[in-house]
């Protein structure tokens, strides 16, 4: 922040809370009462809600600056459209307040709720805080008043809270609602029907509560499903409780992998568990069989980034968790199936290649040792496009001959085993696909692996490095075993190390089908 002139006034962004004057903080009240200038935003022809809240605190000697928005929901003839009109408005407003500050007057800009939470104050802060001494005074945000109104715990323990603007696209809103614990949805108004559809798609409509004018005399709250869309004003929001007491199944996080009650009685004919490979990323690489399964199941279980890739729809419960609880996920899926639920366990790429298929079967064997009824749960595996296939296809045909795949992760196997396998593949002159090549916790293993390979292979051996293949950030690079820099590789990459016969012609990498 730049050093203000000695005679400059101080600029205060003061939160006055959601509506009830008694929720104004003591500090806010003190600053308002001592202000030389009190500024506030207002819509055309409308009373400023922030000024209404603070009316009893504004001294009669204060100069009042009403900053009237040029446009809210209507159209504008400004050549820059809505964005241009608002940009000019904020510049003009900042100039008006700067004139007072330069004259040595302290300016308090009132903000509904909290100044830094979806407020117009922030634009004035951007324009003035570098030139004048500035202080921000926090206020009670509207969502805090709303949760108090309905007396409902919002989040607790490890629950995650997400604040969402209702102006998001419907599909994006649904995705974020399905992937969080608790949620607050702001900016409703005419977007309410879209927001309600997104809640239904995400399976969150049942427990969503609509709160209107929280903390004001006219406040009301009711189930979102019961709201008349034509009655929704700007001063409204939706509370979606993520409180852990709402039950397992809606949330993202390792807690969601907990099994249903052990006292649940298994049904006579359990539903099957289907382990589904989602492919490397793009929707067009998802197989029709996988799509059909995901359209029919009641539950999807998996690592959070993969669960997020499953299309949202009403009636689908999502169980997302961290990256090291594969067997727990398998047990959860089996427990759900024993209760008659239709369950899909999802993996990236192919579920049978370093994926969840083995983890589910491991979980079934372990569970069946405790309770033989687990053995009766059918487990079906639906294949997907593997990452090694996707990278190979982008490069040409490097795995057109014999090949092997290895994961460099040593979480489930010691490095000594990996080293032995790498040397065996190199000596057998097989093309090698390397999964999980390098991570923050394993920064040196790829370099060590390359040293093992170079004990046998020529440094000129062709290497393909594919990163995020099939996605917008896709990158494909062809290099050699001797020139590959391990520091340029991360967990988003898959490597294909060629055989002696692998060649590069006209930019395409391929391995002949004949040997010798």
Instruction: Supply the CATH number for residue 340's domain.
Output: 3.40.1010.10
Query: Is the model's pLDDT at 434 over the cut of 90?
Result: yes
Residues in the chain: 516
Residue with tokens 């593949």: 425
> Which pLDDT score, from 0 to 100, does residue 252 have?
36
Q: Is 431 in the same domain as 418?
A: yes
Neighbours of 257 (CB within 10 A): 22
pLDDT classification of 245: cutoffs 50, 70, 90 = very low
Pair (261, 381) in one structural domain? yes
Instruction: Provide the 3-class DSSP secondary structure of residue 464.
Output: strand
Residues 99 and 126 in one domain: yes
pLDDT digits (tens, 9 = 90+) for 62-91: 999 999 999 766 667 788 888 888 899 999
By percentage, how much of the chain surpasses pLDDT 90? 70
| 378 and 308 within one domain | yes
Residue 283 DSSP one-character state:
G
Rounded Cα–Cα distance for residues 334 and 249 (Å): 14
What does the mean pLDDT of the chain come to?
A: 89
Q: What domain range is 480 assigned to?
A: 389-510
Could you tell me the pLDDT band of residue 247, with boundaries at 50, 70 and 90?
A: very low
Same domain for 480 and 398: yes
Q: Please report the pLDDT score of residue 367 as a whole number.
A: 95
In a domain, 402, yes or no: yes
Q: Is residue 1 a part of any domain in this protein? A: no
| Residue 506 in domain | yes
Check pLDDT > 80 for residue 8.
Answer: yes
Domain limit, last residue, from 334, 366, 385 = 385
Query: What CA–CA distance (Å, rounded) separates 324 from 411?
Result: 9
- Angle (CA) 276-280-283 rounded to 5° is 80
Q: Where a domain ends, among 336, 363, 385?
A: 385
Residues 465 and 425 in one domain: yes
Pair (204, 265) in one structural domain: no
pLDDT recorded at residue 298: 92
Lowest mean pLDDT among 102-111, 246-255, 347-356: 246-255
Rounded average pLDDT over 209-236 = 91
Q: Which of 348, 320, 337, 339 is nearest to 380 (CA)?
A: 337
Are 438 and 370 in the same domain?
no
pLDDT of the residue at 393:
96
491-507 mean pLDDT: 94
369 plus 478 within the same structural domain:
no
Residue 266 has pLDDT above 90, yes or no: no
Q: Tell me, what's the pLDDT at 257? A: 40
Residue 367, helix vs strand vs coil: helix
Whole-number pLDDT of residue 254: 35
Assess whether pLDDT exceeds 50 at residue 173. yes
- 180 plus 107 within the same structural domain: no
What was the pLDDT predicted at 410?
86
Structural domain count of the chain: 4
**379-382 β-sheet, strand order:** 317-321, 299-303, 343-347, 273-277, 379-382
The answer on 260 and 198 residing in a single domain is: no
Instruction: Return the higher-pLDDT residue of 432 and 253.
Output: 432
Are residues 374 and 259 part of one domain? yes
Distance of CA 127 to the CA centre of its chain: 31
| Mean of pLDDT values over 7-19 | 94
User: Which residues touch 192 (CB under 8 Å, ≥6 apart)?
Assistant: 166, 227, 229, 232
**CATH number, domain with residue 468:** 3.30.950.10
Which of 385, 403, 438 delimits the end of a domain?
A: 385
Q: How many helices (H) and strands (E) does the chain have?
A: 14, 23
Looking at the domain assignment, is residue 323 inside a domain?
A: yes
In a domain, 132, yes or no: yes
DSSP string, 109-154: EEESB-TTSS-THHHHHHHHTTTS-EEEE----HHHHHHHHHT---
Note the pLDDT of residue 171. Answer: 82
Q: Provide the pLDDT for residue 5.
A: 52
Buried b (16+ CB within 10 A) or exposed e, 16-40: bbbbbeebbbeebbebbeebbbbbb
Q: Which of 60, 65, 54, 63 is nearest to 31 (CA)?
A: 54
């Amino acid at each position: 922040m730049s050093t203000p002139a000695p005679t400059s006034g101080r600029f205060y962004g003061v939160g006055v809370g959601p509506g009830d004057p008694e929720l104004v903080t003591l500090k806010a009240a003190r600053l308002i009462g001592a202000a030389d200038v009190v500024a506030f935003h207002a819509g055309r022809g409308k009373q400023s809600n922030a000024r209404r809240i603070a009316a009893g605190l504004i001294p009669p000697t204060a100069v009042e600056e009403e900053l009237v928005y040029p446009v809210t929901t209507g159209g504008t003839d400004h050549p820059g459209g809505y964005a241009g009109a608002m940009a000019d408005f904020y510049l003009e407003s900042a100039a008006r307040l700067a004139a007072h500050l330069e004259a040595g007057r302290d300016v308090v800009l009132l903000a509904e709720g909290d100044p830094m939470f979806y407020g117009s104050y922030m634009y004035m802060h951007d324009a003035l805080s570098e030139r004048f001494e500035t202080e921000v005074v926090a206020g009670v945000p509207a969502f805090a008043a709303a949760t108090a109104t309905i007396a409902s715990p919002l989040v607790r323990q490890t629950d995650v809270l997400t604040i969402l603007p209702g102006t998001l696209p419907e599909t994006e809103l649904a995705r974020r609602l399905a992937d969080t614990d608790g949620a607050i949805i702001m900016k409703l108004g005419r977007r309410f029907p879209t927001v309600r559809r997104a809640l239904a798609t995400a399976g969150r409509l049942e427990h969503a509560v609509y709160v209107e004018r929280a903390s004001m005399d006219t406040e009301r709250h009711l189930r979102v499903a019961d709201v008349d869309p034509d009655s929704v004003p700007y001063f409204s929001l939706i509370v979606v409780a993520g409180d852990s007491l709402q039950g397992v199944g809606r949330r993202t996080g390792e807690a969601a992998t907990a099994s249903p009650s052990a006292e649940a009685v298994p049904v006579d004919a359990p539903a099957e568990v289907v382990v589904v490979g989602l492919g490397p990323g793009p929707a067009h690489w998802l197989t029709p069989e996988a799509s059909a399964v995901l359209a029919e199941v009641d539950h999807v279980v998996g690592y959070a980034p993969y669960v997020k890739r499953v299309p949202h729809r009403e009636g689908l419960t999502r169980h997302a968790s961290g990256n090291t609880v594969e067997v727990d996920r398998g047990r959860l899926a089996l427990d759900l199936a024993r209760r008659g639920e239709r369950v899909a366990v999802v993996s990236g790429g192919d579920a049978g290649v370093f994926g969840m298929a083995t983890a589910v079967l491991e979980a079934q064997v372990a569970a069946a040792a405790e309770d033989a009824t687990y053995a009766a749960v059918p487990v079906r595996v639906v294949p997907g496009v593997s990452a090694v296939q996707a990278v190979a296809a982008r490069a040409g045909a490097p795995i057109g001959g014999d090949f092997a795949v290895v994961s460099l992760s040593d979480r489930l196997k010691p490095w000594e085993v990996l080293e032995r396998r790498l040397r065996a593949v190199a000596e057998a002159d097989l093309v090698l696909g390397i999964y999980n090549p390098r991570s923050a916790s394993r920064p040196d293993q790829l370099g060590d692996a390359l040293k093992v390979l170079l004990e046998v292979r020529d440094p000129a051996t062709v290497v393909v490095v594919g990163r995020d293949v099939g996605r917008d950030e896709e990158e494909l690079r062809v290099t050699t075993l001797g020139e590959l820099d391990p520091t340029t590789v991360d967990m988003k990459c898959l490597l294909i190390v060629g055989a002696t016969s692998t060649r590069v012609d006209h930019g395409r990498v391929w391995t002949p089908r004949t040997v010798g």
